């Protein structure tokens, strides 16, 4: 079920009551049953996949611990487990993509290979819970954690419903102990939970879904769009995907807090980054850190020769792109970020030298702002491949952005018609985007210094008014979208 649905608004209070009405030592049971129901609601026929992954990883952890110091046996157990768990991911997510690629290669070399595809349903959240179980198995293999003996707690680690289908990707040493901690209702951070959830719902419904209408108008009709329409839609998609995914993460964090669980915050104002490297330290943090700890560092990281580092960073972003989807678009998107990082590293000293020769401080506001704008521009260009349906559509969009302009009244009228723009929609979009600019501060009272000159009472009033406006805007936009039958899943549910 979607977080932004009536079903979930009914489901969450029921689970909350059942959880806290159960004796502390048995609370994992209603939470686990609720998590399985949440998953079954999406795809009942594929429940066996998450059960299979859970049991394999659970048994592997125990076997690894029993194998002691026998490295050969430990490596064999690890290899078999990775083949079993990641094999499920590869088959269900990438089989048709690999088959089509192989067929295209055979056609290119005039080989005879029968065309065809399997009718494979992509299980919801498979990329997330597969990576989560993989991190558990590797951590046990490295002896960084002890194997979890309680099957119920381990199953809850894999299926915890707030982060089951779109993360964050949690580490076992951070999440498992929290399920075993006995808390009381008095210890709950209700205000923090509802603050995160409100901000998340506003981002998703009032911002992402609203501006998504404009984005879809262009990207679903690439040939009919002009340069200005393509540019506006691409800029708006940068805001849409951020609000959509960070909105989900905020809702997940808020939901988890209602059960005494603290999840990883997945975003830290990524569009304030001054480099692509910094952007990835702020964007989808749980995935970035997973790729760093389980792929980048084990193959040498940056402590290798230059050629090897280029290979390492390219491999990591290739995996990142492929993780997002079985499509050339996502691979190109990932490789673009690898290219950005490689070029950024080799040009850094020349760029710093340029500013020093001008007598401008590299750490000053001017350079920081320019680097931030450059980073946002590069990220936005890469989003074109992320959002477009095919590489050819993405190239067409980019070509229009850089060439297709004719500033006259007819051109502007055509642009407005293509984007389905109206004065109320433009005014609302401007309001929503402005609200989004300080949402992150509102989530944290200690960072929400709206103005140092205001009294504590005034700051509290401003904060309350902001939340009230967000709540009203979210409800109103949701009603309008439902009235026009404009449903919207979270973008990252497809991964």
pLDDT tens across 359-391, in order? 888 888 899 999 999 999 999 999 999 999 999
Least confident of 41-50, 248-257, 270-279, 352-361: 41-50
Give the chain's count of helices (H) and strands (E): 21, 0
Give the mean pLDDT of 236-265.
92
Reply yes or no on whether the pLDDT at 102 is more than 90. no
Reply yes or no on whether the pLDDT at 452 is more than 60. no
pLDDT of residue 450: 47
The residue ranking higher by pLDDT, 394 or 455, is 394
Confidence at 237, pLDDT banded by 50, 70, 90: very high
104: which residues sit within 8 A by CB, 6+ positions away?
none
pLDDT of residue 441: 62
Arithmetic mean of pLDDT over the chain: 85
Position 102 in a domain: yes
pTM (global) more than 0.95: no
Cα(390)–Cα(318) distance, integer angstroms: 17
Position 318 in a domain: no
pLDDT of residue 440: 60
Share of the chain above pLDDT 70, in %: 90
Position 24 in a domain: yes
Cα(298)–Cα(309) distance, integer angstroms: 12
pLDDT of residue 379: 96
Reply yes or no on whether the pLDDT at 89 is more than 70. yes
Position 107 in a domain: yes
CA angle 159, 268, 478 (to 5 degrees): 65
Position 34 in a domain: yes
Confidence at 205, pLDDT banded by 50, 70, 90: confident
410: which residues sit within 8 A by CB, 6+ positions away?
none
Q: Are 205 and 478 in contact (CB under 8 A)?
A: yes
Position 164 in a domain: yes
Least confident of 15-29, 79-93, 117-131, 150-164: 117-131
Handedness of CA 288, 173, 169, 254 (dihedral sign): negative
Q: Are 57 and 215 in contact (CB under 8 A)?
A: no
Confidence at 113, pLDDT banded by 50, 70, 90: low
Reply yes or no on whether the pLDDT at 448 is more than 60. no
Reply yes or no on whether the pLDDT at 444 is more than 70. no
Distances (CA, A) of 16 to 142, 224, 249, 286: 36, 49, 19, 26
pLDDT of residue 442: 58
Residue 30: give the domain boundaries: 6-186
Which candidate, 254, 250, 246, 252, places its Cα nearest to that of 188?
254
DSSP string covering 202-265: IIIIIIIIHHHHHHHHHHT-GGG--HHHHHHHHHHHHHHHHHHHHHHHHHHHHHHHTTT--PPP
Reply yes or no on whether the pLDDT at 421 is more than 90. no
Confidence at 61, pLDDT banded by 50, 70, 90: very high
**Residue 420 falls in which region: left (phi positive, over 0), alpha (psi -120 to 50) or beta:** left
Q: What's the domain count of the chain?
A: 1
Write out the two tokens for 201.
């719902």
Share of the chain above pLDDT 90, in %: 44
Residues marked active site are found at 324
Reply yes or no on whether the pLDDT at 273 is more than 80. yes
pLDDT of residue 312: 95
DSSP for residue 94: I
Position 355 in a domain: no
Reply yes or no on whether the pLDDT at 494 is more than 90. no
Reply yes or no on whether the pLDDT at 455 is more than 70. no
The residue ranking higher by pLDDT, 361 or 119, is 361
Cα(27)–Cα(231) distance, integer angstroms: 51
Reply yes or no on whether the pLDDT at 443 is more than 70. no
Give the mean pLDDT of 18-25.
92
Cα(67)–Cα(467) distance, integer angstroms: 54
Give the mean pLDDT of 312-337.
93
Position 66 in a domain: yes
pLDDT of residue 117: 59
pLDDT of residue 359: 87
Q: Are 159 and 54 in contact (CB under 8 A)?
A: yes
pLDDT of residue 301: 87
pLDDT of residue 364: 87
Give the mean pLDDT of 315-332.
91
Confidence at 310, pLDDT banded by 50, 70, 90: very high
Q: Are 32 and 156 in contact (CB under 8 A)?
A: yes
């Amino acid at each position: 079920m979607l977080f932004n649905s009536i079903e979930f608004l009914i489901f969450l209070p029921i689970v909350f009551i059942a959880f806290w009405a159960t004796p502390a030592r048995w609370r994992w049971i209603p939470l686990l049953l609720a998590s399985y129901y949440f998953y079954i609601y999406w795809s009942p026929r594929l429940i066996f996949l998450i059960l299979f992954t859970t049991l394999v990883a659970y048994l592997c952890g125990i076997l690894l611990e029993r194998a002691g110091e026998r490295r050969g046996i430990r490596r064999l157990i690890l290899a078999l487990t990775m083949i079993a768990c990641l094999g499920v991911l590869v088959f269900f997510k990438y089989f048709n993509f690999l088959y089509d690629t192989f067929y295209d290669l055979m056609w290119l070399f005039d080989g005879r290979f029968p065309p065809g595809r399997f009718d494979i349903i992509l299980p919801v959240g498979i990329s997330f819970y597969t990576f989560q179980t993989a991190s558990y198995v590797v951590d046990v293999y490295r002896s960084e954690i002890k194997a979890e003996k309680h099957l119920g707690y381990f199953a809850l680690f894999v299926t915890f419903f707030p982060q089951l289908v779109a993360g964050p990707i949690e580490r076992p040493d951070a999440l498992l102990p929290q399920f075993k901690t006995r808390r009381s209702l008095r210890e709950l951070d209700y205000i923090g939970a509802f603050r995160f959830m409100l901000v998340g719902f506003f981002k998703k419904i009032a911002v992402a879904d609203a501006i998504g209408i404009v984005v879809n108008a262009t990207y679903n009709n690439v040939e009919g769009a002009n340069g200005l329409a393509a540019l506006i839609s691409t800029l708006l998609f940068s805001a849409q995907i951020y609000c959509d995914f960070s909105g989900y993460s905020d809702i997940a964090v808020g939901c988890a807090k209602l059960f005494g669980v603290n999840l990883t915050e997945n975003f830290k104002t990524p569009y304030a980054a001054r480099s692509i490297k910094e952007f990835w330290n702020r964007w989808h943090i749980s995935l970035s850190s997973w790729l760093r700890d389980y792929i980048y560092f084990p193959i040498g990281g940056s402590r290798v020769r230059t050629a090897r580092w280029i290979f390492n960073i390219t491999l990591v972003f290739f995996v990142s792109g492929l993780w997002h989807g079985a499509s050339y678009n996502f691979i190109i998107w990932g490789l673009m970020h690898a290219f950005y990082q490689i070029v950024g590293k080799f040009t850094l000293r020349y760029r710093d030298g340029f500013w020093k020769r001008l007598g401008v401080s590299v750490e000053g506001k001017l350079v920081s702002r320019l680097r931030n704008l450059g980073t946002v521009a590069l990220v936005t260009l890469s989003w074109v491949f992320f959002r477009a349906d095919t590489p050819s559509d993405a190239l067409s969009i980019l070509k229009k952005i850089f060439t297709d302009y004719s500033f006259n009244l007819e051109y502007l009228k055509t642009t407005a018609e293509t984007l389905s723009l109206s004065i109320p929609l433009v005014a609302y979009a401007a309001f929503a985007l402005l609200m989004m600019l300080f949402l992150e501060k509102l989530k944290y009272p200690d960072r929400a210094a709206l103005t140092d000159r205001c009294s504590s009472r005034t700051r509290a009033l401003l904060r309350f008014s902001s939340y009230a406006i967000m709540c009203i805007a979210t409800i109103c936009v949701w009603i309008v979208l439902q009235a026009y039958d404009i449903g919207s899943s979270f973008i990252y549910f497809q991964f």
